Structure 1
């Protein structure tokens, strides 16, 4: 029996090694070890979306995974694909959920049109490719929005010398970036004289993150590096209080007229500064005492730093931007209408369900003794179940526990489902 187990382990290890070598070989055959930053705009209204092609920039070496090149988890409201023109093979794909997608669900989107800046980064291909931009529709199906031709030989690819801002490693050694989660931390609303405060704030946030499960077990899988582009003024915009500051990224509260909702207006500058170091995720720390933040899957994370709950918000927003987790609250004010999720479609986010395809979610983790749906009563307070309410909706959307860091800041941590989802994303970067 021992020999059989040893043999099985040997076969699995051999298979893993062969698979890893094959992936590495596949990357080298298709890509150069460089990064392309594609800037574009998502535009439209509640019923229409179109894409405006922008510029292409060549950044440094590719810091993303060379082994997981496809969006095999199917996360995100938008998908971008890099397709080899010679054989129509998808060689790279990624999902993301931008601010524009949320704006489409607001009342304003029924009355007017807007455009939002976005960026898609991909390893530089060796041959000519097509870039396909797709949008997940309300019925769950994908729609092709636009298709652009990209040639690695195009002399319009901009190759600028990056500005050398002050940088400091907050956690990790900054090495082995293709196998780690690399997070660049940017400063907004910090003046030249507030560099030390920015570094102190960054270390405080990262320390809080690693005290939380499951991040505490995955410390060695992360690199955090701070990039300091000073602002002319300290603070940020708070339009509802008639306060305006000249900052690097134009961070502002009152997004969609929600006091706590913090976003950055100058996304191009965000990505330009982030691209001066290897990164997978962007986190903007905003130098203000006001409570708030924002997180967008595979796009950007933001939090204010001087509110008593800033560490909790930092962790919550990273759940959105990094792990693709949905909000589990349903009784707080939002700018979205009551039909944000289609109750006939299973949401892509791993921590909520409409029960349409619950088999693909956490059904196997729920005890047979636990009723589905699960009542929000004291009896099931600590039970992993299926509780109605989540994703901003009181009815028809369900979450795993009565409380979680994706629901409230008073929760002691993430529920089991969120922890499992976060761990999966981390391991996906290895």
Structure 2
């Protein structure tokens, strides 16, 4: 009986894998389609303006898990087969535009932000549907575009060739997590330093559970994008550097927030390799970084806290984890609607807590849970998180997503990260 059960499970697994592969082979070619557009508006408006559509040589994503199962992200895009109407691909993501909308500046002026979405290259005509999450938590369509893959206006230019080194991993991109590390603020003479830095910081990421348990399923590429000058912009100190992807501290006037708005350059450079995630490694020892779900992650290469910051930001970029701190300086005003359950897996407003980590709580842990010594190290429901001291709750008194004191994720964050890893590698 046991042998029959094992055989049955194997057959079911193989069936699922084959169905996923046949779905990919039915609808897609083994390369990427990229759509570039502008997202513009202010604190209560947004509009989308088409820029470009192009073919890229590699597809780094899964060939079996094609439709998003998490529902994460303030945005998502969906690809529908035009003839059958079937949803054949979808992906959630975040954007700097949405963050900017919650700043004071967005109430004074309108701005435009460059956006890029990458998907497997369709064999037949498809509808690309872009959706945005509204204040009530629901998503609504904000743009639609029909794509004919035979259209001769789809650019087929090869990406500018940039040297790269595969510093870790031997796996098939379809069954691996592929990370493109981009050199930022490294001159031509500093490329040996960049490769060493990329290997070190990738090691930081893969040292943290649950990444350590899946380290052999990661492919890490170090792309040697050369900057004219070393370092990065620090506007608050009147320091400006000519760098390849134009990173800057003081994003939204927060001194430690180290990002880039140059999304076009990020993707132009990354197109040299198959990738799931982009990680911008910045040649500075000043504390800082940023992370945006399925958009990119970034951090300083040489700060004393780069170990802590790199995996914190990658927690945002890769797994959609929320910040659990509630007393640090941020640029946002009313970032979360307290009457709606946030989509991030590691914070809750208790509106639909049963969808979060309720089943991981011990019967002896009260809800909400006091921030007291008695519950240190326990999974609970602690008030404070998501930049708010009241009305938002997090699963641990401290976690990598809350402070740099913690080397590891709490159990709730770790579980959420592992689920995304398994989805990305096709399990």
**TM-score normalized by the length of structure 1:** 0.97
1:428 aligns with 2:414: no
Alpha-carbon deviation of 1:408? 0.5
8 A contact 2:58–2:273 mirrored in 1: no
1:271 aligns with 2:267: yes
1:166 aligns with 2:136: no
Query: CA RMSD, aligned part only?
Result: 0.9
Match for residue 414 of structure 1?
409
1:128 aligns with 2:125: yes
Match for residue 190 of structure 2?
194
Alpha-carbon deviation of 1:19? 1.4
1:243 aligns with 2:239: yes
SS at structure 1 position matched to 2:419: helix
Separation (CA, whole Å) in 1 of partners of 2:346 and 2:268: 32
Alpha-carbon deviation of 1:209? 1.7
Count of aligned pairs:
425
Separation (CA, whole Å) in 2 of partners of 1:135 and 1:309: 34
Match for residue 116 of structure 1?
113
Match for residue 317 of structure 2?
321
1:72 aligns with 2:86: no
Q: Deviations 1:241-260 (Å, cap 9, x if unpaired)?
A: 00000000000000000000
Match for residue 354 of structure 2?
359
Mean Cα deviation higher: 54-63 or 419-428 = 54-63
8 A contact 2:281–2:298 mirrored in 1: yes
SS at structure 2 position matched to 1:71: coil
SS at structure 2 position matched to 1:82: strand
SS at structure 2 position matched to 1:19: helix
Separation (CA, whole Å) in 2 of partners of 1:427 and 1:406: 21
Q: Deviations 1:312-367 (Å, cap 9, x if unpaired)?
A: 11111000000110000000010001x21111111111011111111111111100
8 A contact 2:40–2:113 mirrored in 1: yes
Alpha-carbon deviation of 1:305? 1.0
Separation (CA, whole Å) in 2 of partners of 1:122 and 1:139: 28
8 A contact 1:305–1:311 mirrored in 2: no
SS at structure 1 position matched to 2:23: helix
8 A contact 1:221–1:426 mirrored in 2: no
SS at structure 2 position matched to 1:168: strand
1:24 aligns with 2:21: yes
Match for residue 184 of structure 1?
180
Match for residue 342 of structure 1?
337
8 A contact 2:58–2:271 mirrored in 1: no
Separation (CA, whole Å) in 2 of partners of 1:390 and 1:239: 29
SS at structure 2 position matched to 1:364: helix
Alpha-carbon deviation of 1:90? 1.4
Match for residue 287 of structure 1?
283
Separation (CA, whole Å) in 1 of partners of 2:124 and 2:159: 26
1:210 aligns with 2:206: yes
**TM-score normalized by the length of structure 2:** 0.98
- Residue in structure 2 matching 1:138, options 118, 127, 135: 135
Mean Cα deviation higher: 205-214 or 301-310 = 205-214
Separation (CA, whole Å) in 1 of partners of 2:253 and 2:204: 29
SS at structure 2 position matched to 1:208: helix
Separation (CA, whole Å) in 2 of partners of 1:167 and 1:34: 19
Separation (CA, whole Å) in 1 of partners of 2:262 and 2:187: 17
Structure 2 unaligned blocks of 5 or more = none
Structure 1 unaligned blocks of 5 or more = none
Alpha-carbon deviation of 1:107? 1.0
Match for residue 307 of structure 2?
311
SS at structure 1 position matched to 2:152: coil
